[in-house]
């Protein structure tokens, strides 16, 4: 399991996942606002 | 008796600390630190969501505007500093001394650029924390993050100086690894702050 406190490499991977998840959230919200 | 005196003769420094937990002390310290950080940021995010969701007030306050584009470019600057931090540690592990120096120095400069742009934003944004609840939360969240960047830059300054003095090796690079974890944590928090405060 990914533990961002274990090593710098895992912290970096965690950051990339967070960026990807928030990019999807922003895209969905902006899309929702454009449609509604 | 003889063995004990021989052991005492070879032991340098203070006696080993008493361990009251099965969790490694440095890891336990880091967990407690992160939990306290989540609570601090959580308090500010609670105020933010209260304004937007519970009170239903507009965001940002009427007559004010947040510089989304400049903050977006600044976000790219901060995220790229995480890439250079990762490069620095990989270089240290590979014994690439020049790569390590270049990596930590670039990370420091990118972090300093982010902070400079943030301060410049405060100067030109046109509202103060006392103008509205939205202003208080905006300065609170971005300022709290800025304080963390400042701490990260202090750690990176020491890491950079040590790297240029040749302190790190492929076997011993803890002084790069720990600031690296902290720096990525600061970047994660900025992704959350930027998304909620500027974009959504």
Contacts of A7 in chain B (CB under 8 A): 177, 181
Kindly list the domain boundaries of chain B, sorted by start residue: 25-199
Which pLDDT score, from 0 to 100, does residue B9 have? 62
Outline where DSSP puts E strands in chain B.
none
Angstrom distance (rounded) from CA B110 to CA B76: 10
> What tokens appear for B75 in the block?
């976000």
pLDDT tens per residue, range B87-132: 999 999 999 999 999 999 999 999 999 999 999 999 999 999 999 9
Angstrom distance (rounded) from CA B156 to CA B58: 39
Which pLDDT score, from 0 to 100, does residue B21 have? 72
Residue of A nearest to B200 (CA): A26
Which pLDDT score, from 0 to 100, does residue B26 have? 74
pLDDT tens per residue, range A2-34: 888 889 999 999 999 999 999 999 999 999 999
CA distance B6 to chain A (A): 37
CB contact under 8 A, A8 and B191: no
Phi-psi region of B14 (alpha: psi -120 to 50; beta: other; left: phi over 0): beta
- Which residues of chain B, if any, have pLDDT below 50? 1
Give the domain B25-199 fold: 1.20.120
Chain A residues near any Cβ of chain B (below 8 Å): 4-5, 7-9, 11-12, 14-15, 18-19, 22, 25-26, 29-30
Q: Is residue A13 part of a domain?
A: yes
Q: Is residue A27 part of a domain?
A: yes
Which pLDDT score, from 0 to 100, does residue B18 have? 75
Cβ atoms B112, B72 nearer than 8 A: no
Which pLDDT score, from 0 to 100, does residue B30 have? 78
Which pLDDT score, from 0 to 100, does residue B12 have? 77
pTM exceeding 0.80: yes
Angstrom distance (rounded) from CA B168 to CA B175: 8
Q: Is residue A24 part of a domain?
A: yes
Angstrom distance (rounded) from CA B101 to CA B134: 41
> What tokens appear for A32 in the block?
């929702």
Query: Which of A5, A18, A26 faces B30 most closely, judged by CB atoms?
Result: A5
What 3-state DSSP class applies to B146?
helix
Residue reference for tokens 């004010």:
B64
Q: Is residue A1 part of a domain?
A: no
Cβ atoms B70, B116 nearer than 8 A: no
CB contact under 8 A, B181 and A11: yes
Which pLDDT score, from 0 to 100, does residue B8 have? 55
Q: Using the 8-state DSSP alphabet, how is residue B95 labeled? A: T
Query: Which of B27, B89, B192 faces A5 most closely, judged by CB atoms?
Result: B27
Give the structural domain span for A20: 7-36
> What tokens appear for B172 in the block?
């011993």
Q: Specify the number of domains making up chain A.
A: 1
């Amino acid at each position: 399991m990914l533990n961002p406190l274990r090593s710098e490499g895992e912290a970096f991977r965690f950051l990339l996942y967070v960026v990807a998840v928030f990019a999807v959230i922003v895209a969905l919200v902006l899309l929702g606002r454009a449609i509604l | 008796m003889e063995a004990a005196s021989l052991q005492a003769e070879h032991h340098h420094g203070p006696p080993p600390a008493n361990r009251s937990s099965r969790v490694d002390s440095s890891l336990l310290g880091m967990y407690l630190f992160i939990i306290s950080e989540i609570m601090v940021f959580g308090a500010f995010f609670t105020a933010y969501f209260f304004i937007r969701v519970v009170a239903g007030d507009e965001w940002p306050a009427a007559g004010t505007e947040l510089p989304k584009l400049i903050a977006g470019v600044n976000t790219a600057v901060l995220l790229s500093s995480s890439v250079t931090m990762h490069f620095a540690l990989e270089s240290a592990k590979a014994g690439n001394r020049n790569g390590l120096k270049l990596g930590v120095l670039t990370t420091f400069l990118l972090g300093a650029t982010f902070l400079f742009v943030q301060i410049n934003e405060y100067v030109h944004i046109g509202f103060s924390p006392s103008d509205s609840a939205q202003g208080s939360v905006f300065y609170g969240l971005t300022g709290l993050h800025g304080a963390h960047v400042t701490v990260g830059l202090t750690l990176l300054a020491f890491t950079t100086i040590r790297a240029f003095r040749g302190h790190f090796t492929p076997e011993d690079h803890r002084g790069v690894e720990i600031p690296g974890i902290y720096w990525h944590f600061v970047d994660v928090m900025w992704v959350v702050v930027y998304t909620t405060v500027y974009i959504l």
